Structure formats: C-alpha cells, structure tokens
Amino acid sequence: MMTLEESTRLLNFLVAPDGARLFDIECSPCHGSAVAFSGSEEDLLVLISKGGLHLEMPPWQERLSPGEIDALARFVVNPEANPSGAPVFDQYCKSCHGNRIPTGNTYDETRQAIAIGGAHQTMPVWGDILTPEQLDALVKYTLQAARGTPL
C-alpha cells in the first residue's frame, strides 16, 4: 500500500509534461513567449525552484492619463462591470499578464498599485510543486529557448 505522498509522486511522474508544455502552461502567462536568461543551468534551476519576487510593474502614472488608470483599476477590480478598461489592459498590460487579469480587492488599492508600480508578481516556489523530472525538463527547455537553440 502506498502512502498519499508516494501516490502523489507517482501520479506527478506519470503525468509530467515536457518542458515546453510546462513553460506554456505555468510560465507564459507572466513571461509571455519570450525567454530571457543568460545565467548557468544551475542558476536557472535555483531561480525556478525557489521562485520569489522578480517581476516589477512600471509606474503607469508616468505613461497613462488619470482617466486611463481609473478605467484600468475599475476593470481589474470587476472586469464584467467595467469593460471600458479592457482596451487599456489589452494595450499596456497583456504583454506581461497575458489573458490573466490580476485580481484587485479594492479600487483604491488597485489604482495605487497601477499608478506607482513595483514588485507585485511572485513566482511560485516550483521546487515545492514540481517533481525533479519536471524541474529538469523546464530548466532544459527554458535554457535552450533563451539561447535560441532549436527546440
């Protein structure tokens, strides 16, 4: 009889996707299709395994009008009720966020985050989630893609 941990590991191993699919599913919503990394394989393994704060949002108050920031904040808090913010999101935010609209609790909080920017995306600690085989596949794919190696 297997323990729950053993059966979970076995199931993860059996369904482990390759690095390209892992990147597409788990990484591209924040990183897009471009991969920029110039360190070693070991550095990349540490970065992916440990995750952490590493994406900074620009301070949009320097680029957007107050009206655009308001529309965007309302859209993020409640997209269905505020569709007028969708074009602003598509133009300025989609390149990093993809189709995943971040969640904002309140208008004031969200507006401030959009206006002043800063670290706001925390990469998951993939070392606690993925199997060693999955981590290896993801690291190899990301490193090859960053170096322009044909995949």
CA 9 to chain CA mean position, Å: 24
pTM confidence score? 0.51
> The tokens 């009206």 sit on which residue?
67
pLDDT of residue 17: 62
CA angle 124–78–68, rounded 5-degree value = 95
The predicted-structure confidence for 89-125, as pLDDT tens digits, reads as follows: 999 888 777 777 877 789 998 899 899 886 555 677 8
In the chain, what is the straight-line distance between the N-terminal and C-terminal CA atoms, in Å? 40
* Alpha carbon distances (Å) from 144 to 22, 50, 124, 139, 149: 14, 20, 22, 8, 5
- pLDDT at 4 > cutoff 70: yes
- pLDDT at 16 > cutoff 80: no
Q: Whole-angstrom Cα distance, residue 32 to residue 115?
A: 23
Domain residue ranges in the chain: 18-51+124-151, 64-122
Q: Whole-angstrom Cα distance, residue 3 to residue 11?
A: 12
pLDDT of residue 54: 58
**Across the chain, what does the average pLDDT equal?**
82
Q: What's the helix, strand, coil split of the chain in %, to 5?
A: 60, 10, 30
Hey, what are 145's tokens?
A: 């893609």
The predicted-structure confidence for 62-86, as pLDDT tens digits, reads as follows: 899 999 999 999 999 999 999 999 9
pLDDT band at 47 (very low <50, low <70, confident <90, very high): confident
